[in-house]
Amino acid sequence: MNEPLVYEMSSPGRVGVSLPSCDVPQARLPQGMLRHDLPLPEVSEVDLIRHYVRLSQLNYALDKGFYPLGSCTMKYNPKVNEETARLPGFVQTHPYQDERTVQGNLFLLYQLQEFLKEILGFGGVSLQPAAGAHGELAGVLIIRAYHHSRGDSRRTRMLIPDSAHGTNPASTAMAGFETVKVPSDARGNVDLDALRGLCDGTVAGLMLTNPNTLGLFEEQVIEIARLVHGCGALLYGDGANLNAIMGIVKPGELGFDVMHVNLHKTFSTPHGGGGPGAGPVGVSAALVPFLPGPIVVRELAEDEHECDDDSCGCGEEECGCEDDEETYFYRLSMPEKSIGRVKAFYGNFGVCVKAYTYIRMLGAAGLRQASENAVLNANYLLGRLKGVYPLPYDRTCMHEFVLSGRLPGAPEIHTLDIAKRLMDYGFYPPTVYFPLIVPEAIMIEPTETESRETLDSFAEAMIQIAEEARSNPELLHDAPHSAPVARLDEVQAARQPVLTCLKS
């Protein structure tokens, strides 16, 4: 049975909220400006809750099971993150409050900037971007601003490997650059000869994902950085795959100049069904003045020292008690040559609180452990599936790997069929048909928060499906069999779009 739409549940006179009566004299409403009809539904509170609980039950989610969506780092979202982000002292603060009244928030943001700088090996970080693609746009604009600040406006081209995420060329185009595709070589690396031929005085930068979207570490990354810098361009890092290398290598030390990170991937904040995330952007020291802002800076609070030591009892400035440690005042600051604001206020603060909580709980050793286990889990799963599914690039993988759904002996089976059949086994399917350079791609990222038993049961399902593909292909073509709906008609959805339930 269909879950009704809220509009279908609506009945005149039903009320879902209780509001106070007006405690001030009523003013006259400006006639001629009022709306005549507000076509919102009328639903009782109990019906509302049941509706949304039933809807929630139609979702697969990380809290229900394994979600090996490649490039998305669907690691467990620790519950403590939700607790800290919802602390009233954080939630009930207004972005325009006097800085003196939000030192807790500003301290936390400053610390998170410092943590990310350290993990990335960079000179500065801005927490303002709200998502990965948003951080990417900021990063590309930083590259543009850097060249322009040097009076160099000839650099109109951005090099992008053919394995890149679609956001890379899209961000590049938004920033006004022409995109130039760089091919991959037989080992899944950037083709160095091709890159060499492209590097000249018209190139603004190269956008490199490392590990790349095949889940492979670019073996020639040092040479790539040398070539890019050699022609006066900058090296951009797409941080989508940072989960493989925390505490293993710092991108800044490899020669990356700019990189965004996804707090909702690497740093365990939930994806929320498509957001909110956060996409801080980090840069090398030379690019710090170009960061989007404001960012948080601190200064010694010499004059405003307040003694914390009750036994001292001075309670005032210029106290000489032994606890007279350096205290800082945290404030917002716009970097000198900033590309500007990329959103209102300072970033997705609530998401930053979650990432801060996560990094505090893992520490340096925990972050490295996370990356090591993410890579071990991926290689273990790869080992179990290699030989069952075609593996176009047979190398030690990093945190994810890419198979092909072109199963020998099952010519009618597509990757989509395999993906849909996985639902019947109780798994969310991997990322499919990406990266574009692998036909019928199946991109699997298990993350470090899955146990060996979970990986084994997923592997067994994949192996079983490969057998079904040959013995009973219809089982795959008709899948899913156990989901709330069967395969949906996407063509009809696009050709005759029904995008609201309002009567026009």
State which residue, 26 or 311, has the beta carbon closest to another protein.
26
The smaller minimum CB distance to another protein, of residues 40 and 311, is found at: 40
Cβ 161 vs Cβ 308: under 8 Å: no
Distances 294 to 212, 334, 338 between C-alpha atoms, Å: 31, 4, 9
Contact of 213 with 441, CB cutoff 8 Å: no
Minimum CB–partner distance for residue 354 and another protein (Å): 10
Q: Rounded CA gap, 262 and 277, in Å? A: 7
Q: Measured from the CB of residue 38, what is the shortest distance to another protein in angstroms?
A: 5
Residue 312 has which token pair? 């001292």
Nearer to another protein, 184 or 377 (CB): 377
Cβ proximity to another protein: between 57 and 470 the closer is 57
Sign of the torsion formed by the C-alpha atoms of 10, 12, 14 and 16: positive
| In the complex, minimum distance from the CB of residue 201 to another protein, in angstroms, rounded to a whole number | 19
Number of residues written out for the chain: 504
For Cα atoms 465, 471, 475, give the angle at the middle one, nearest 5 degrees: 60
> In the complex with another protein, which residue's Cβ is closer, 39 or 320?
39
Please report how close the Cβ of residue 425 comes to another protein at its closest, in angstroms: 12
Shortest spacing between CB 305 and another protein, in angstroms: 16
Please tell me whether the peptide bond between 25 and the residue prior to it is cis, using omega within 30 degrees of 0. no
Please identify, using beta-carbon distances, which residue of 377 and 409 lies nearer to another protein: 377
Q: In angstroms, what is the minimal distance from the CB of 409 to another protein? A: 26
User: Given the DSSP bridges, would you call strands 441-444 and 401-404 parallel, antiparallel or unpaired?
Assistant: antiparallel
Closest separation in Å from C-beta 407 to another protein: 20
Write the single-letter amino acid at 414.
Answer: H
Nearer to another protein, 349 or 389 (CB): 349
What's the burial of 376, exposed, middle or buried (CB within 10 Å: 0-12/13-18/19+)?
middle
Closest CA to 455 of 444, 446, 464, 463: 446
DSSP SS3 for 14? coil
Q: In terms of CB distance, is 470 or 483 closer to another protein?
A: 483
DSSP string, 65-113: S---BTTT------HHHHHHHT-HHHHT--TTS-GGG-HHHHHHHHHHH
Q: How far is the CB of 471 from another protein (least distance, A)?
A: 23
